[in-house]
Amino acid sequence: MAERLRDLLSIEELTAEEIGFLLDEAKPFQEFQRYPLKKLATLRGKTVALAFFEASTRTRISFATAASRLGADTMNLQAEASSLKKGESLLDTARTLDAMKPDCIVMRHSSSGAADFVARHLEIPVINAGDGTHEHPTQALLDALTIRDRRGKIESLNVTIVGDILHSRVARSNLHLLGKFGCRFTLCGPPMWLPREFECLGKQVRRSSRIDDALEGADVVIVLRVQQERLHEPALPLDEYILLYQLTPGRLKLARPDALVLHPGPMIRGLEIDPAVADGPQSCVLEQVTNGLAVRMALLFVMIATGAEIDDARGPAHAAH
Amino acid sequence: MFARMRVVEKTQLMSATEIDRTLQRLAHEIVEKSGGTANLALIGIRRRGVPLAQRIARAMHGIEHVEVPVGTLDITLYRDDLSKIASHPVLHSSEIPFPVDDKDVLLVDDVLYTGRTARAAMNGLFDLGRPSRVRMAVLIDRGHRELPIEASFVGRSIQTSSREIVEVRLHETDQEERVMLVERVE
């Protein structure tokens, strides 16, 4: 890779080459999850700060487990218990964490651009674990790894994303990532949830409010969680959403026979997805979770295992024998 | 990414024929000193230990008509000098298609130098299980150990200075097949 990766703030700013490098680095860590002894000393003595200003369970556990399996320690900041509740500014909280000398900060925040803002003020690497409706880079990386494993490639696929695209950082990161590899997209959901922004980015994006039409010929179907808190702006009855947009076995038949079904979780069975699809052979949901660990281990390894200043004249290919 | 180190070639240490003859001899020694090959497994350390392990296994098949399993170990995650490099190390998969528990493991590498690679390989190996015995075979032992580690089987021991580099070039990984002694020029 040409340049050292300093932060991971968005997929948009990465090149296809950098994405490919990160996916390749994740490969050995996928295997590692099957080892009897899941503990490396590679990041021994390093500390990863997990700053989750917005509630999160799976992403936080995934990052914490990734850090722990690499031998790093973690410090935890959780929204409910944080001094944000007491009125401290984001920057003050970040600087306080930084003063405890972690080697990187993994951060989630409900405001788009929050990770970028913190990265501009701190020296240490910042990993964006989701910022508002902007991006969720590690989710897109683990989705790409899952697709590449099952399909052998991520290039030029037909990808259908179903749900609330407008408010979804998962959709945005996936559009940026798979878009860099020439994938074509169909965004599907109630019209008020289908933004026009991606058409302006010159990506191959089609919008459709009819799921039967959107699934036709799909290689990959990404089902988004229905954020029930959003259903009321403007009002859309839940049972109407289920009727119009739930991914059912019958509808999935309209996609290619080997189409993959991805869901970023948490998945609500019987709402956005029929249980028969969620548990079916085309579903990748549990692989996504395992691959999430591999991607996050690779990322932490790439970002903090090596030193920033000194370079070995012989290069990384030469071990010391 | 980084300035390419300048080196001059000094001498050829081994020709293709000598490499082949040495590996044949190593295979004979390993068979002789292992007290049976039933439990034996070879693990090549990436990168050039891998083709060497495969060749030794083939030679052993020629001698004993046994199939000795061969695995591959990438030691990058176990290196003790990661904090000293600035560029992103490229990771590779370790492929060990047999349980390591209670196996008689022979690690194979091209050059034994400081012993730090062998240390890293042993750490990696023990993350996979508990072998009954671990030994090591190398094509070249060039001295300058920084750890209390020795190989059980050595193709050739040579005297080197720390400015010199032993380059094993194999046709599986390089354009040619020979062992060269090169020197770093500042």
Q: pLDDT (tens digit, 9 = 90+) per residue, B151-160? A: 999 999 999 9
Q: What is the largest CA-CA distance in chain A?
A: 66
**Could A5 and B1 be called an inter-chain contact, meaning their C-beta atoms sit closer than 8 Å?**
no
Span A209-267, pLDDT tens digits: 999 999 999 999 999 998 877 766 667 888 999 999 999 999 999 999 999 999 999 99
Q: Are B16 and B180 in contact (CB under 8 A)?
A: no
In this prediction, residue B2 carries a pLDDT of 45
Q: In what order do the strands lie in the sheet with B6-14?
A: B6-14, B178-185, B164-169
Q: Give B6-185's CATH code, choosing from 1.10.357.10, 1.25.40.20, 3.50.50.60, 3.40.50.2020.
A: 3.40.50.2020
**Could A320 and B128 be called an inter-chain contact, meaning their C-beta atoms sit closer than 8 Å?**
no
**Residue A152: band (very low, low, confident or very high) from pLDDT cuts 50, 70, 90:** very high
The CA distance from A289 to A33, in Å, is 11
The CATH classification number of A137-285 equals 3.40.50.1370
Q: Is A41 on the interface with B (CB under 8 A)?
A: yes
The CA distance from B166 to B50, in Å, is 17
> Which is nearest to A124 in space by CA: A102, A108, A109, A107?
A102
Q: Report chain B residues touching chain A, CB-CB < 8 A.
A: 1-3, 5, 47, 74-79, 81-94, 109-114, 116-117, 120, 123, 126-129, 142
Q: Are A247 and A162 in contact (CB under 8 A)?
A: yes
Q: Where does chain A hold its CATH 3.40.50.1370 domain(s)?
A: 16-136+289-304, 137-285
Report the SS3 class of residue B33: helix
Element (DSSP H or E) covering residue B170: none
In this prediction, residue A181 carries a pLDDT of 96
Residue B154, strand partner residues: B138
For the packed helices A137-151 and A285-304, what is the interaxial angle rounded to 10 degrees?
A: 120
**Could B78 and A35 be called an inter-chain contact, meaning their C-beta atoms sit closer than 8 Å?**
no
Gap from A19 CA to chain B (nearest CA, Å):
13
The CATH classification number of A16-136+289-304 equals 3.40.50.1370
Gap from B68 CA to chain A (nearest CA, Å):
22
Looking from the CA of B85 toward its CB, the CA atoms found within 13 Å total 23
Type of residue found at A162 = V
Residue of A nearest to B49 (CA): A321
| Chain B residues with CB-CB distance to A297 below 8 A | none
pTM of the model: 0.90
Residue ranges of domains in chain B: 6-185
Residue B71, strand partner residues: B43
Q: Which residue has the tokens 């749900």?
A: A163
Q: Mean pLDDT throughout B119-144?
A: 96
Span B14-26, pLDDT tens digits: 999 999 999 999 9
ipTM of the complex: 0.82
Provide, rounded to the nearest whole percent, the portion of chain A with pLDDT above 70. 90
Structure tokens belonging to residue B158: 């040579």
